[in-house]
Chain A
Amino acid sequence: MIDLKDLKKTYELGKLKVEALKGVSLHVDKSDIFGVIGYSGAGKSTLIRCINLLEKPDSGSVFVNNQEITALPEGELCKARRKIGMIFQQFNLLKSKTVFQNVAFPLYRSGLSKNAVREKVENLLEMVGLEDKATAYPSQLSGGQKQRVAISRALANDPQVLLSDEATSALDPQTTQSILSLLNDLNKKLGLTIVLITHEMTVIKEICNKVAVIDDGLIVEQGDSIDIFSKPQHPTTQRFIASVFQTERIHEIVSQPQISDLLKANGVVARLLFTGESANNAYISQVSRNFNININVIFGNIEIIQSLPIGSLFVVFNGDPVNIQAAINYLQIEKVKITFIQNSDPYLISEAI
């Protein structure tokens, strides 16, 4: 559906040169919800704006629906853009127009009759749940409602692709949820291909089936969400994933007196990562019974990625080191991913194992 080939873009701010994209290639399939995540300044905004050429790449090519967007003359580009919807962080609605007029705005000179336009706009507003706000002005709406108007405006010309430029970054968590589930519905209902950029892993977690991680103008990792969440490879990806599972808090927790007492008694601190099937088994009680050891859960969480659960548990194994070793071997055979927490604490025996 969308193919980006070796996109490069450099900004010149006076004498300063900023390489926003250093050769980015991406492939998005039809009906994907493709998330691009990166820290601010990573180049993600430039990347998404290159798809509809709001930003012209210095080199490389953009294909949308088998049409080379980068090769189109001005007039054709305008036509192609009508089939690529876009929503923004700041909604960008026309202040001087009502909700109805905003949604009807892209339909100007589309060849539709007045009645056809009205019907279309009413359907679009109904789809986003704002049929009663048609005569309101944007200033009378909440952030979430404005984004809903923007979404229905972006869909007015029946695009196959929707680009979302940080569309939920200005919204509170609850509204973010409702906008994301709306996007998810549209994806399922209309088969809409969605490319979204964000700096929040929770957005990716919620709706994206594929993820690309962008760092310093390059895609450092990409793949199915479930794989990225369970086996992040690149340090930047690992940092994003860690923020979801709050893994960095383990160090804070092991330094607490109650926990370090546990560790003094020959404890081993480890992170157990359960994915898919293994997330549903009662491993903790089973292992503790069978190997005659104690397992203390320090903290943990389970995230649902693309309807598959991923569980992250920080535990302390206590007991006979031989039994602990046996239990760990068993868990590894069962495809539970185990990482030992390296810590300067002398009571940790993780290195011994």
Chain B
Amino acid sequence: MAELLTRIMPNVMERYSDLLLATGETLIMVLIAGIISVILGALLGIALVVTGTGQLYENKTVNNFLGKIINTVRSVPFIILLALLVPFTRLIVSTSIGLKGALVPMIVGITPFISRQIEQAIIEVDKGVIEAAQAMGLSKPQIIVRVMLREAMPGIIRALVICIINLIGLSAMAGTVGGGGLGDFAIRYGYTQYMQDITVVTVLILLLLVNSIQGLGNYVIGKLSH
């Protein structure tokens, strides 16, 4: 078996442990960036909804300000954002390379996207239900947590799945600035050294990763939707 594998993909078998390491790095990048940006994105998404017209904490100035910032960041391509953010990254994590250096641009890049997705999910919660909660005597924070977030949960999970999948893509690009991971691995060996089998295997691993996340997401959404 090992012999057969070595014949089909000699370079992969030779750098077997490096590949595992790279996969681990990708997972860590996606996990950490995912957790932080989901929290930030959720807060921003909620803020975008509740400051909107006719909402619980209506505030045009804040709403406009948040909207503009999010749109601005979203309009910069990620690869340019990587370069643009170098001074900021240094300021925050005192380095612009390695895992830490990759995380900051990943978070900045994905958070506006997540917040728009979460905003969309929350805004679709039936206004009548929010009104009913007000009539029942729930306070505004209670309505946000117990009604808006709860009722929007299937939509939020759907948004998260899309975002995590996007993050995997971003991690491949961020990896090239020194974060490591599968992207870096594939570029370094598969692209620059013409090791085609490494590129193919990397793609297969990413395929598996994306599908597992999508599958898990669909399962959770199925459990939550009635």
Contact = CB atoms under 8 A, between A and B. Distances in A.
Contact of B131 (A54, A137, A150, A153): A54
Interface string B103-137: 00000000000000000000000101101101111
Contact of B146 (A52, A84, A108): A108
Interface stretch (A27-35, A89-97, A266-274): A89-97
B147 interface: yes
B153 A96 contact: yes
Nearest to A86: B135
Interface in B130-172: 131-132, 134-139, 142, 146-147, 150-151, 153-154
B150 A94 contact: yes
Contact of B129 (A52, A94, A106): A94
A202 to B, nearest CB: 24
B127 to A, nearest CB: 9
Given A94-B150, A95-B226, A96-B151, A54 B126 contact: no
A151 to B, nearest CB: 12
A96 B29 CA distance: 33
B224 interface: yes
Nearest to B226: A137
A277 B150 CA distance: 58
B134 A54 contact: yes
Contact of A88 (B128, B150, B151): B128
Contacts of A74: 139
Contact of B137 (A92, A106, A139): A106
Contacts of A106: 136-137
The A interface is mostly helix, strand or loop, or mixed, namely mixed
B224 A82 contact: no
Interface string A193-234: 000000000000000000000000000000000000000000
B224 to A, nearest CB: 7
A65 to B, nearest CB: 15
B151 A94 contact: yes
A84 B135 contact: yes
B151 A81 contact: no
Interface in A54-87: 54, 74-75, 78-82, 84-86
Contact of B151 (A52, A95, A139, A157): A95
A291 interface: no
Contact of A79 (B137, B146, B147, B151): B137
A86 B151 contact: no
Interface in A26-53: 52
B150 A82 contact: no
Interface of B: 126, 128-129, 131-132, 134-139, 142, 146-147, 150-151, 153-154, 224, 226
11 contacts: A75-B139, A79-B137, A86-B135, A86-B136, A88-B132, A92-B131, A94-B129, A96-B150, A96-B226, A97-B150, A157-B136
A-B pairs, 4 with minimum CB distance? A137-B226, A92-B132, A81-B137, A82-B137
